[in-house]
Structure formats: structure tokens, C-alpha cells
Homo-oligomer: A and B are copies of this chain.
Amino acid sequence: MLKNMERSTRQRQAIRQVMQELNRPLSPSEVLEAARHKVPGLGIATVYRTLKGLVEEGSAIPVELPGEAPRYELSGKKHHHHFHCTYCGKVFELEGCPGDFSFMAPQGFKTERHEIVLYGRCTQCLNPHP
């Protein structure tokens, strides 16, 4: 007897695969575009529904960046930050973190967490003809 996200459909398989393969935070429309290569008729509503389900079951988490609609990445990764290519708009995962930034907060403030976003050009956009 099943509960949430109970049936294994081609659409859901494709969406999960795309998120594993691309391995970076994806917007719903990026997921749609990539997953349509596997399931041509895929609709955006299914993408939203599936992403919501993945977040609810804990296997994906939303990634919020300044001025952008949420993207989604698979969960289970350790503390990390992101790089946003200002040319192609893709967001990449960074490894590691320089550490604790509590010292930046004013006296009397209690820092609980932090986010770092780097902006610039990714390799593909710097070297368009490899």
C-alpha cells in the first residue's frame, strides 16, 4: 500500500534522472526542457507536481538565489554554495565552504546560517569553441 508519489511513471523517472545527470540546481523550465528529451510530451504541470513531491518526500530541496525563482537540486549533499553564470544563467554547485561568518554580524546579533553566491562566467561560456 503506497502513499505519496506512489506510482513510477516515465515522467517521474525522467525528472529524477535529469536531476541526477545534470547535478546542478535546475529551474522547473530547465527540468522540463531536459526531461522532454526522454519524454517528449511532458508538461510543465507535471514538472511542478513532481518537484513538489520530491521536496515533500525529502529527496530534493529548493535552492533560492537572489532575484530568481527557486531551483531544485537533489538532497543529501553536504553544506555547499553556488555559482551563477551571468551569461548562460546556469547555476552550478561549489564544493566546500570557507567557514563561519558570524564575525561579520554586528554586536548582539546571532548568526544561524549563511549563503554565498558567486557570479561570473562558467567554462562553457568562456570557451565556446572547445
- B-binding residues in A (CB < 8 A): 64-67, 70, 81, 83, 85-86, 92, 94-98, 101-102, 104-123, 126-127
A83 touches B66 (CB 8 A): no
Contact B110–A120 (Cβ < 8 Å): yes
How many copies of this kind of chain does the complex include?
2
Please state if B110 and A83 are interface contacts (CB–CB under 8 Å).
no
Q: Which residues of B contact A66 (CB under 8 A)?
A: 64-66, 115
The 4 A-B residue pairs with the shortest CB-CB distance, nearest first, are: A64-B66, A108-B123, A64-B67, A112-B120
- Distance of A92 from chain B, by nearest CB (Å): 7
Are the CB atoms of B96 and A98 closer together than 8 Å? no
Given that A66-B64, A67-B64, A83-B111 are contacting pairs, would A116 and B94 also be in contact in the complex, using a CB cutoff of 8 Å?
no
Q: A64-B67, A67-B70 are in contact. Are A120 and B116 (CB under 8 A)?
A: no
